[in-house]
Amino acid sequence: MRISEHTGGSIRFAVMGLALLAGVGTAVSARAQDAATVEAPILQFHSFEPANPRLAAKILSGPSLWRGDLEAAREAWRKGRYKKAKAAFERAWNNGNLVAAWYLGHIYRLGRGTKANPSRAFFYYRQVALAYDPDDVNRKRLMMTVDALVRVANYYRTGIGKKRRKYDPKRAFRLYNIAAGHGHPAAFYGLGLIALHGEGMKKRPRRAINWLIKAARGGYAPAAVMLGKLAETGVKGQLRRNEVAALSWYMVAAARAGGKEAERIRERIRKLKSRTDKASIERARRMARAFIASTQQPPRAITAAQ
């Protein structure tokens, strides 16, 4: 079925940029749909890592948690002493501390205090993911294990290294679906990529767009970037090109991203604006603002500079 301007709901927006506030229907369970609304904003998942130590420390707070080697590791991390932090986290993990394993996954994924090692990152994330219990009454531990499910799923989706070890998109899909049930925005993004590229399943661009929009609504900048790319280039036989819609999605992404990622997005915005009339730019800006307002997640403001 061709996705056109006459298609309802979120697909109409993705193609034409005319319905940023439209509802999104997906094949995810009702629990996932409810969680995405009730738990918004869902910043605690994809910002819940040592790259943002203040936020992680706030979420993982508690008098009985940050003690001994774990406390030493956190303090070293805050001071940029990553090798010392890694050693302390390893000591804590040797005593069975799951928080330490989760941090070590980030350390090996990001290459902090050591060379990046996807295999080691996968190992540590998997230890945390194995502790996932959907009925866990400890909300903080549940959030951490759900995040680990997504991290493990990412490796199953892409594989590790040139030989793509661990590549298993069907398993990735299952793990993403579980995490999506808890409202993790990166899980919706992973589901969207699998459906878009047909990894372990038939390509389903309509469903992919639905999932990507859910991820964008959760504040996940890469999802908004992907929606911008789809609107900018179109999908043969499926999705018409629309640069106004693309510009609006990039504006949404820029309001969510930071650092080098934000600068790359702003460069995309500059290129599109250079070949777009002022009325269309303002239209894209209004749509981006409206979409962000609908997510109930206050980002950096979208200004005339974007």
Taking only the tens place, the pLDDT of each residue in 74-89 is 889 888 899 999 999 9
- Nearest Cα neighbor of 129 from 95, 111, 108, 105 is 105
Same domain, 193 and 306: yes
Structure confidence at residue 239 (pLDDT) = 80
For residue 25, give the DSSP letter: -
Structure confidence at residue 68 (pLDDT) = 81
Same domain, 63 and 141: yes
Taking only the tens place, the pLDDT of each residue in 11-50 is 344 433 333 323 333 333 333 333 333 233 234 444 344 4
CA 31, CA 37: separation in Å to the nearest integer?
Answer: 10
Same domain, 229 and 284: yes
Rounded to the nearest integer, the mean pLDDT of the chain is 79
Structure confidence at residue 297 (pLDDT) = 58
CA 213, CA 45: separation in Å to the nearest integer?
Answer: 17
CA 261, CA 258: separation in Å to the nearest integer?
Answer: 6
CA 187, CA 179: separation in Å to the nearest integer?
Answer: 6
Last residue of a domain, one of 115, 145, 175: 145
Same domain, 188 and 306: yes
Structure confidence at residue 78 (pLDDT) = 86
Q: What average pLDDT does range 158-179 have in this prediction?
A: 95
Taking only the tens place, the pLDDT of each residue in 114-148 is 999 999 999 999 999 999 999 999 888 899 999 99
- Total domains in the chain come to 2
Same domain, 244 and 291: yes
Last residue of a domain, one of 92, 124, 145: 145
CA 201, CA 170: separation in Å to the nearest integer?
Answer: 8
Q: How confident is the model at residue 3 (pLDDT cuts 50, 70, 90)?
A: very low
Domain contains 70: yes
User: Contact 219/189 with Cβ under 8 angstroms?
Assistant: no
Last residue of a domain, one of 84, 115, 145: 145
Same domain, 108 and 222: no
Domain contains 105: yes
Same domain, 50 and 35: no
Structure confidence at residue 296 (pLDDT) = 59
Stronger pLDDT, 224 or 6, i.e. the higher one: 224
Domain contains 162: no
Taking only the tens place, the pLDDT of each residue in 193-231 is 999 999 989 999 989 999 999 999 998 999 999 999 999
Stronger pLDDT, 158 or 69, i.e. the higher one: 158
Structure confidence at residue 259 (pLDDT) = 85
Same domain, 260 and 295: yes
Structure confidence at residue 238 (pLDDT) = 77
Strand partners, 204: none
For residue 40, give the DSSP letter: -
Same domain, 218 and 240: yes
Domain contains 169: no
Q: How confident is the model at residue 294 (pLDDT cuts 50, 70, 90)?
A: confident
What percent of the chain lies above the pLDDT cut of 70?
75
Structure confidence at residue 77 (pLDDT) = 86
- Give the structural domain span for 53: 43-145
Stronger pLDDT, 172 or 237, i.e. the higher one: 172
Domain contains 176: no
Helix axes 9-16, 205-217, angle to 10 degrees: 90
CA 65, CA 71: separation in Å to the nearest integer?
Answer: 8
Domain contains 7: yes
Same domain, 66 and 21: no
Same domain, 35 and 55: no
User: Contact 76/88 with Cβ under 8 angstroms?
Assistant: yes
> Where is average pLDDT lowest: 178-182, 276-280, 294-298?
294-298
Burial class (CB in 10 A: 0-12, 13-18, 19+), 263: exposed
CA 255, CA 249: separation in Å to the nearest integer?
Answer: 10
| Kind and range of the H or E run holding 57 | helix 53-59
Domain contains 129: yes
Same domain, 79 and 191: no
Domain contains 174: no
Structure confidence at residue 288 (pLDDT) = 95
